[in-house]
């Protein structure tokens, strides 16, 4: 098995009703990689950082046996930085500051060893960069999972449409699904989005769970009800990383197995929101993950006889 994750490795600064994080480790590839590392080692990361990115943060990847040869350091450059503030309900947030820095010149060149990878996660990046990664693969991967956002729908529609044609699983939130499809009903939105390319669609609804559409079926996983959501940053990337990590490890991309992958992804995301940044997600062990999956079983599974 092999898994390649392309996305941001960044600094975040978060303000929540519980406090301020200061400048901490963030980025889509960071969360997705750490989540996937619960299932496998040698995950290949492709990203770009500045000289200001601390070795200590890079060590966290190495500690989880991740392959970081694909993270390019730009001499004299500064790492992508995002600062945001969450509202009291923790469901909405304002961006206070975005410094693209080295991300503006991200032009990924895959190490030769990465070009035969079977499972590919394209984190939320400009569609042109996502396409560039796809074009460098020697063979079409067994499974391509992609994340995107409303910004690219507003600003790079044509490029986005081109990438979507080459993707198996798209992960977006409910508002983005509505924008992408022009349909309010998520069932209708899924039908339209399938016609754009992705045979599978995961609609992330935050505290309201996630829907998986594909092969004419629908599967739903709730978010675990928690006493406190401390910091939602990275929960979507953690979910996606857990999803593809589970699939890459099991090498089974059937719809039945994708259901399991959605559950494991949801379980990992439930840890992510319990602390600032990667604090919690960087240190999970298998026992903790299994216990969380057991909670999902209790939350959702039932036995029923039909009425006569």
- Residues lying near a copy of itself in the complex (CB under 8 A): 38-39, 88-89, 184-188, 205, 208-209, 211, 217-220, 222, 225-229, 256, 259-260, 263-264, 286, 289-290, 293-294, 297-304, 306-308
In this structure, are residues 272 and 280 in contact, taking their beta carbons and an 8 Å threshold? yes
Q: How far is the CB of 305 from a copy of itself (least distance, A)?
A: 8
Q: Closer CB to a copy of itself, residue 71 or residue 193?
A: 193
Q: Closer CB to a copy of itself, residue 72 or residue 259?
A: 259
Rounded to whole angstroms, what are the CA distances from 27 to 7, 110, 129?
7, 19, 16
Q: How far is the CB of 195 from a copy of itself (least distance, A)?
A: 15
Q: How far is the CB of 225 from a copy of itself (least distance, A)?
A: 5
Q: What angle do CA 127, 95, 267 make, to 5 degrees?
A: 70
Query: If you ran DSSP here, which 8-state letter would residue 283 be given?
Result: G
In this structure, are residues 67 and 44 in contact, taking their beta carbons and an 8 Å threshold? yes
Q: Closer CB to a copy of itself, residue 49 or residue 210?
A: 210
Q: How far is the CB of 68 from a copy of itself (least distance, A)?
A: 24
Phi and psi at 204, nearest 5°, equal -90, 125
Q: How far is the CB of 124 from a copy of itself (least distance, A)?
A: 24
Helices (H), ranges, 75-114: none
For 291-302, give one letter per residue: b (16+ CB within 10 A) or e.
ebbeebeeeeee
Q: Closer CB to a copy of itself, residue 105 or residue 252?
A: 252
Residues 248 and 20: their CA atoms lie apart, in Å, by: 36
For 243-259, give one letter per residue: b (16+ CB within 10 A) or e.
bbbbbbbbeebeeeebe
Q: What is the DSSP string of 202-226?
A: EEE-GGG-EEEEETTEEEEEPPPP-
Q: How far is the CB of 74 from a copy of itself (least distance, A)?
A: 37
Q: Closer CB to a copy of itself, residue 76 or residue 225?
A: 225
What SS3 state is found at 168?
A: coil
Q: How far is the CB of 218 from a copy of itself (least distance, A)?
A: 6
CA 66, 70, 71, 75 dihedral sign is positive
Q: Closer CB to a copy of itself, residue 169 or residue 186?
A: 186
Q: Closer CB to a copy of itself, residue 135 or residue 228?
A: 228
Q: Closer CB to a copy of itself, residue 26 or residue 232?
A: 232
Q: How far is the CB of 102 from a copy of itself (least distance, A)?
A: 36
């Amino acid at each position: 098995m092999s898994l390649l994750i392309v996305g941001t490795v960044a600094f975040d600064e978060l303000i929540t009703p519980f406090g301020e994080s200061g400048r901490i480790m963030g980025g889509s590839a960071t969360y997705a990689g750490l989540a996937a590392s619960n299932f496998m080692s040698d995950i290949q990361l492709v990203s770009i950082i500045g000289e200001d990115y601390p070795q200590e943060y890079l060590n966290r990847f190495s500690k989880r046996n991740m392959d970081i040869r694909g993270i390019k350091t730009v001499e004299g450059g500064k790492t992508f930085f995002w600062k945001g503030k969450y509202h009291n309900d923790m469901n909405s947030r304002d961006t206070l500051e975005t410094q693209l820095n080295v991300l503006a010149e991200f032009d990924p060149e895959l190490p030769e060893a990465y070009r035969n990878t079977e499972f590919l996660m394209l984190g939320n990046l400009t569609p042109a960069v996502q396409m560039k990664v796809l074009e460098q693969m020697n063979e079409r991967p067994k499974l391509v999972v992609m994340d995107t956002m409303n910004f690219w729908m507003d600003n790079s529609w044509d490029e986005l449409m081109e990438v979507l044609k080459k993707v198996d699983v798209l992960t977006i939130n409910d508002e983005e699904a509505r924008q992408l499809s022009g349909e309010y009903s998520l069932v209708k939105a899924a039908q339209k989005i399938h016609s754009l390319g992705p045979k599978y669609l995961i609609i992330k609804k935050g505290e309201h769970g996630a829907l998986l559409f594909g092969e004419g079926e629908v599967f739903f996983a709730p978010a675990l009800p928690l006493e406190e959501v401390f910091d939602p940053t990275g929960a979507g990337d953690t979910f996606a990383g857990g999803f593809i990590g589970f699939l890459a490890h099991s090498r089974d991309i059937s719809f039945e197995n994708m259901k399991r992958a959605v559950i494991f992804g949801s379980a990992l995301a439930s840890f992510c929101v319990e602390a600032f940044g990667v604090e919690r997600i960087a240190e999970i062990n298998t026992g903790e993950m299994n216990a969380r999956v057991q909670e999902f079983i209790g939350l959702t599974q039932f036995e029923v006889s039909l009425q006569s």
